[in-house]
Structure formats: structure tokens, C-alpha cells
Amino acid sequence: MQQTIIIQAVQSDEDILISEHFYKMWIDVGIPEDGIEDNWQEIIIQFIENARQNLFYQSFLAEIDGVIVGSTSCQLYAGLYPNAIKSNYRQFGYIWGVYVEPEYRRKGIAKQLTNTAIEHLKNIGCTRIILNASPDGKPVYQSLAFVESNAMHLDLA
């Protein structure tokens, strides 16, 4: 039987759910618990509050039969360098923290969450969307027409 997935915008009183999913995502990608700050939840919630005030932040929850099974966040991309390009030419959005509980994976939930974030970013005038994909997430994003970019990195530790 096909379960109905409900995607809804998160209000600030539900930010704790987003922070918990973000923590679980770190664990899933191999960050050891002792590699995460003790006050991780406070750090995430403060980041969200700042992004909500300054970067058109919005998060979304996925629910099945009254159970929260996933979430994602999106916002304007603050950038890594000074942006002197007019926003109608280049206004980047950023999707982060796409997370689905393990027992609900491979049911299209991450795809629906990402599509909802894409629509939000389109509605606020973004011309491009950026995200960082885990190896398991890459097929989801590629199916939504995301392409790998020329971003490179060098691990120093």
C-alpha cells in the first residue's frame, strides 16, 4: 500500500527536529560522535535563526501517518567571497541537511523534500541552487538534474 507523504514548512518551534536530523546526517556520513561539539544543537539552532533573519531560510518536514520521517533546509547562499554580481544575474540558493530516517529511505521522500526546497528557492528569485551531496544522495540529486561542478577540495587533516 502506497503511503501518503506530507511535506510541510517548518515553524521556528520545530527547529529542534531539524537540528536532530542534521546531527543524524553527520553520524550517517561517518563523523564520530566525539568529533561533534557538545553544544551542537545550540550551534545549529543559532545558525538557523540567523539564516531565517538574513537569508530567507526555510526548512521542510516529511511526514507519513503522523510520523516525522525526514527534513531539509534551504536558504540564500551566503557565499565564500564578495558577491558584486547583480542578483537577477546570479542569486544562489543552498539546500542543506536533506535527511530521511533509515527505515523510510528509497521511497522518494528525499526527492520530494528536495523538490519542495527547489520551489522555495525559485520563489525567492534564485537563479542557481547549490548543495553538497553524500555518496548515497548523489543519485537523488542527479535525477533532479543537478550536475557535478568543478568544486575541488584538499584534505589537510
Q: Which domains does the chain have, with CATH numbers?
A: 5-143 (3.40.630.30)
Residues belonging to the chain: 157
Task: Give pTM, 2 decimals.
Answer: 0.91
C-alpha to C-alpha distance for 32 and 67, rounded to whole angstroms: 27
Predicted confidence (pLDDT) at residue 89 exceeds the cutoff of 70:
yes
Backbone angles phi, psi at 20, to 5 degrees: -65, -40
Q: What is the pLDDT of residues 135-156, one digit of tens each?
A: 889 999 999 999 988 777 788 9
C-alpha to C-alpha distance for 74 and 56, rounded to whole angstroms: 8
Q: pLDDT tier at 1 (50, 70, 90 boundaries)? A: low
C-alpha to C-alpha distance for 77 and 56, rounded to whole angstroms: 10
Predicted confidence (pLDDT) at residue 105 exceeds the cutoff of 70:
yes
